[in-house]
Structure 1
Amino acid sequence: MTPEPAPGSAAPLLGGPVTPVAPVWTAPVRRTPGGLIALTIIGLVFGSLALLLVLVYLSTFLGPSALVLCLLLALVPLTGILLVVRWIDRWEPEPRPALWFAFLWGAGISVVTALVFDFGVQLALAAAGSSRAGSEAGGAGSGTDAFAAVLQAPLVEEGAKGVGILVLFLVLRRTFDGPVDGIVYAATIAAGFAFSENIQYFGVAMLESGADGLGFTFLVRGVFSPFAHVTFTACTGIAFGIVSRRRAGGALGRVLIVLAGFALAVALHGLWNGAAYLLTNDSALLFYYLLVQLPLFIGYIVAVVLLRRQ
C-alpha cells in the first residue's frame, strides 16, 4: 500500500522518491531607500519645527482659545482632502514617510517661507515709502495690496510648494513615475498649506466679525473651496509626473514642462485671489465661484479619474 504524500510534497511518480515542491514565485522584499529615510528624518524635524513656529505666530494675535478652535475647524476640510488623496493613491500607494514629509512641508516650511517673504516685502516697501507723502503712500498701498494678492502670493506660495515636489521628485526618482504620483504629493503638500492658512483666515474672521464672520469664512474656504490649493499645486505635480515618464526632449524640454505647470498653478491661484480681492460683494463672489471655479474643479476631477484609469 503506497503511503499518502505529505502536505507540501509532490505525489510519487511510478514509485519514485517523494520530493518537496519548490516555489516558483516569491514575494519581493521591499527595502526602504536610504534617501527616503534621510528625507523622513530631516522632514519630520524641520517640518515639525516650522509648523510649531507657525502655530506660535498665530497664537500671538489669536490667543490660545481661538487658536485651538480654529485648528479644530481647519481639520474638517483637511480630513476631506486627505481622504480624496487616499482614494487617488490606493492603487499604487506612495510611501507613508514621503506623504508625512509632504504634509509637513506644506503646513510648515511653505507657510514659513511665505510669511518671511511677505514680511521682507513689507519692510522693503516701508523703507521705500517712508519719504513719500501720505496721500501718495495711500494710493500706492492699494496698488500694493492688489499686486500682493494677484501676483506676489501666488508666485511665492506656489514656488514654496513646488520646491517640496521637486525634493520628492529627486529623492524618490525610482518610484515617482507618473502624473498620479505628482498629484498625490502635490495635493498632500497643498492640504498642509491650506490647513495652516485656514487657521489664520478663520481666526482673523472671528476677531473682526465674530461668529458670523467665522461661519461665512468656514463656508467659503471649508465647504465651497477646500480643494482650491490642491487644484493649483496639482498643475506643478502633474508636470513633474509627465517629466518622470519623458525619455526624449533633453533637460531643457523637461524644465520647460515643469515651468509650464508651475505657470498654470500661479495663474489659477492668481485668478482665485484676484476674484476674492475684487469681488467684495458676497453674491458676486458666489456667482464667480459657480461660473468659473466649479467648472475648473469638475474638470480637475475628470482629469484625475482618467489618469487613474490609465
Structure 2
Amino acid sequence: MNNPYGSPPGRHGHAPYPYPQHPQAPYPQHGHGAPQRHVPQEPPDPDKRRRVVGLGLWIVGMLAGVVLNILFTMAEIFLSKAPGRMLSAVLTGALFAFLPLGFYLFVPMVLDRYDPEPWWCLAMAFLWGAVVATGFAGMINTGVHIVFAGLFGPKVGNFMTTVVSAPLSEELFKGLAILGFFYFLRREFDGVVDGIIYATFCALGFAAVENVSYYARADMADQLGTTFFLRGVLAPWGHPLYTSMTGIGFGIARESSRTWVRWVAPIGGFFVGVFLHALWNFVPTVIPNAFVVMLLFWLLFVAAFFCIIVALVMRKGRTIRQFLRDEVLLGNLSQDELELVCSPVGRIKCTFDGRGAEGRAFIRAASRLALSKWHTARAMKGQKRTISADFIGPLRRELATLRAALRAKAPR
C-alpha cells in the first residue's frame, strides 16, 4: 500500500497534501505601517449538520421503540394465563439475558484494539438494537403472524413469522443502525472492522431484549436451563453474525471509491445476513432432527469468522502505521510515538504509565488522522471527493495540542 501523498516538504520542494495547508498570510499594513497579526479562525465542523440530523432521528426512533417495547411487555404479562407468574418469569428472563452481556460486549472491544470506537457510539448502537430494532421488528412479526395464522392456520403463521418475516424485519432495523453510522457519523466509520463492531453491539442489544421473552416463556414451561444453554452459551453470536454481514457490506462501501460497489455491497451484505438468519430459523422449524448437525457446522462457521475479524483488525493496524510514517518525517510524531500509536496495547500503557486519558486521546487522534488520510488517498486515486479530507487539518491540530500537553506533564 503506497502513500500517494508524495514526499514531505524540504525533500522535493512541495507539500505532500493536495488540500489547503493554511499558510500564514503576510501581515496587512495599517496606519503607520505597523503589522497587524491575522488570527486564523477555526474552520467549521465539516459534518456537524449530518450529526445533528442523525441524532434527531436516533432520538425519534428510541422514543417509538420504548413505547412499542412497553406495549409488548405488558401484553405478554397481562394476556398470559397467570400474569403474576409471568411477571416473575420476565424478571428472571431479564436477569439471565443481561448478566452475560459483560462478557459478550468485552469480546468486540478487545478485538478492536487500534482504533476503538467511542463509547457513546457503541452505546447508541447497542440501544438502537435493544429498543428500536426489537420494537419495530416485533410489531411487524406480530402482524405477520396474526395475518397468516388467521388465513392458513398456526403452522403457516409460525413458519412465515420465523423463517420469512423475522430475518427480513430484524436485519432491516438492525441494519439501519449501521446505515446511520455510515452516513451521519462518517468520522467514526472507517471500514469493514468498524462495520462489524457496530453491527455486533447493535445485535447484542437486540439479542438481549429478545432473550428476555424467550427465557420468560421457557421459565413458564420449566425449560429455562435448556433454553439458556442453547441461546446464551452455544449460540450467543447468532445475531451478531447475521448483522455483521450488513456491517461488512457498509464497510466495503466505505473503503471503496466505486459508485456501484457503494450501492451493491451494503445490499448484498444485508441479504447474506437475511439468508443466514433464515437458514438458522428454518432448520429447527422444518427439520428439527438435523439441528445438531446444523449447530456443529454453525460453530465452525463462527470460529472461521472470528479468525477473519482478527485478520481484518491486524490489517487496520498496518494501515495506520503506513499512513503515519510521513508524520514522523514531517515532525508531527516521533518514532517512539508512532510505535505507541501502532501498539495493540498502547492504550493500556498510557493507562498505567501516567499519560492516562490524554495519552489515550493522543493515540486516538493519531489513528483517526491516519485513517482519514487513507480514505483521502483512495478517493484521490478514484478522482473522487471525500469528507475525510476535511478531518485531516483539525486532527493534526488536535494531535499537536495533545502532544504538547503530554510533553508538559512528562517528568523532567
Q: TM-score range by the shorter chain?
A: 0.7 to 0.9
TM-score with structure 2 length normalisation?
0.59
Query: Which stretch shifts more, 77-86 or 46-55?
Result: 46-55
Offset, 1:263: 1.1
SS at match of 1:174: helix
Offset, 1:288: 2.3
Q: Indicate the residue corresponding to 1:67 in structure 2.
A: 90
Matches within 5 A, 1:188-199: 188-199=201-212
Offset, 1:276: 2.4
Aligned partner (choices 182, 191, 213) of residue 200 of structure 1: 213
Q: From the superposition, tell whether residues 143 and 65 of structure 1 become closer, same or farther in structure 2 (CA, over 3 Å).
A: closer
Offset, 1:101: 1.2
Is 1:219 aligned to residue 229 of structure 2? Answer: yes
Is 1:145 aligned to residue 158 of structure 2? Answer: yes
Offset, 1:279: 4.2
Offset, 1:254: 1.6
Query: Which stretch shifts more, 81-90 or 229-238?
Result: 81-90
* Contact 1:59–1:67, Cα closer than 8 Å, also in 2: no
Which of structures 1 and 2 has the larger relative contact order (alpha carbons within 8 angstroms, sep 6+)?
1
Q: Indicate the residue corresponding to 1:295 in structure 2.
A: 300
Is 1:244 aligned to residue 287 of structure 2? Answer: no
Paired-residue identity, %: 34
Q: In structure 2, how many angstroms separate the alpha carbons of the residues matched to 1:100 and 1:45?
A: 16
SS at match of 2:117: coil
Query: Which stretch shifts more, 96-105 or 60-69?
Result: 60-69
Give unmatched runs, 5+ long, in structure 2.
Answer: 1-44, 78-85, 316-412
* Contact 2:133–2:206, Cα closer than 8 Å, also in 1: yes
Q: From the superposition, tell whether residues 56 and 144 of structure 1 become closer, same or farther in structure 2 (CA, over 3 Å).
A: closer
Offset, 1:73: 0.5
Q: In structure 2, how many angstroms separate the alpha carbons of the residues matched to 1:52 and 1:219?
A: 31
Offset, 1:48: 6.1
TM-score with structure 1 length normalisation?
0.77
Query: Which stretch shifts more, 257-266 or 53-62?
Result: 53-62
Aligned partner (choices 101, 111, 114) of residue 78 of structure 1: 101
Q: In structure 1, how many angstroms separate the alpha carbons of the residues matched to 2:63 and 2:229?
A: 29
Q: Indicate the residue corresponding to 2:135 in structure 1.
A: 112
Q: In structure 2, how many angstroms separate the alpha carbons of the residues matched to 1:65 and 1:44?
A: 31
Give unmatched runs, 5+ long, in structure 1.
Answer: 1-30, 130-136
What whole-Å deviation, never above 9, does each CA across 1:10-67 have from its counterpart, x for those lacking one? xxxxxxxxxxxxxxxxxxxxx8964546645763574266246425522443443222
Q: Indicate the residue corresponding to 2:312 in structure 1.
A: 307
Offset, 1:172: 1.2
SS at match of 1:106: helix
Amino acid at match of 1:73: F
* Contact 2:122–2:201, Cα closer than 8 Å, also in 1: yes
Is 1:275 aligned to residue 283 of structure 2? Answer: yes
Q: From the superposition, tell whether residues 38 and 57 of structure 1 become closer, same or farther in structure 2 (CA, over 3 Å).
A: same
Name the Cα RMSD after superposition: 2.3
What whole-Å deviation, never above 9, does each CA across 1:128-153 have from its counterpart, x for those lacking one? x3xxxxxxx44xx4234223222221
Q: Indicate the residue corresponding to 1:154 in structure 2.
A: 167
Q: Indicate the residue corresponding to 1:18 in structure 2.
A: none
The count of aligned residue pairs is 262
SS at match of 1:92: coil
Query: Which stretch shifts more, 67-76 or 155-164?
Result: 67-76
Is 1:176 aligned to residue 176 of structure 2? Answer: no
